[in-house]
Chain A
Amino acid sequence: MTDYVSILSIDLSLVAPELVLLAAAALILLFIPLRKMVFLAPVIAALAFILSFYLAVGQWHYSGSGFAGLVTCDSFGVMFKLIFLLASFLSLLIARRFFVIKGIDKPEFYALLLFSVIGMMVMANTVDLVVMFLGLEIMSIPLYVMAAFNRRSLESNEAGIKYFIMGAFASAFLLMGIAFIYGAAETTDFRRIVADFSYIVANYRIYLYAGTALILVGFGFKVAIVPFHTWVPDVYQGAPTPVTGFFSVAPKAAGFAVMLRIFLYGFERIELLADIFWVLAVLTMTVGNIMALRQDNVKRMLAYSSIAHAGYIMIALVVGGSEAISAAMFYLVAYTFFNIGAFAVVTILETRSGCKSDFVELAGIGKATPYLSAVLALFMFALAGFPPTVGFFGKFYLFSAAVKAGYIWLAVIGVMNSFVSVYYYLRVIKTSYMDPYEGQPAVVKLVPSIFLVLIITAVGTLGLGFFPQKLLELSQAALFAFL
Chain B
Amino acid sequence: MVPISAYLILAAVLFGIGTIGVLITRNVIVIFMSIELMLNAANLALIAFSRGMNVLDGHVFVFLVLTVAAAEAAVGLAMIVLIFRNRETINIDRFSIMKW
Contact = CB atoms under 8 A, between A and B. Distances in A.
A158 B98 contact: yes
Interface in B32-79: 32, 35, 38-39, 41-42, 45-46, 48-50, 52-53, 55-58, 61, 64-65, 68, 71-72, 75-76, 79
A158 B35 CA distance: 18
A130 B64 contact: yes
A238 interface: yes
Interface residues of B, number: 43
Interface in A212-231: none
B42 A175 contact: yes
B97 A168 contact: no
B46 A141 contact: no
Contacts of B9: none
Contacts of B35: 165, 168-169, 172
B45 A180 contact: yes
Interface in A44-98: none
Contact of A161 (B38, B64, B80): B80
Contacts of B53: 186
- Dominant secondary structure of chain A at its interface with chain B: helix
B22 interface: yes
Nearest to A168: B35
A457 B22 CA distance: 40
Contacts, number: 111
B46 A182 contact: yes
B97 A176 contact: no
A176 B38 contact: yes
A331 B40 CA distance: 38
B46 A158 contact: no
Interface in B1-56: 8, 11, 15, 18, 22, 28, 31-32, 35, 38-39, 41-42, 45-46, 48-50, 52-53, 55-56
18 contacts: A141-B72, A141-B75, A145-B75, A148-B79, A154-B86, A157-B83, A157-B86, A158-B96, A158-B97, A165-B31, A169-B38, A172-B35, A175-B42, A175-B65, A180-B45, A182-B57, A183-B48, A234-B96
The 10 closest A-B pairs by CB, nearest first: A172-B38, A183-B49, A179-B45, A175-B42, A176-B42, A137-B68, A234-B98, A179-B46, A168-B35, A179-B42
Given A134-B64, A154-B97, A187-B57, 5 more contacts: A1-B57, A157-B82, A160-B82, A168-B72, A172-B42
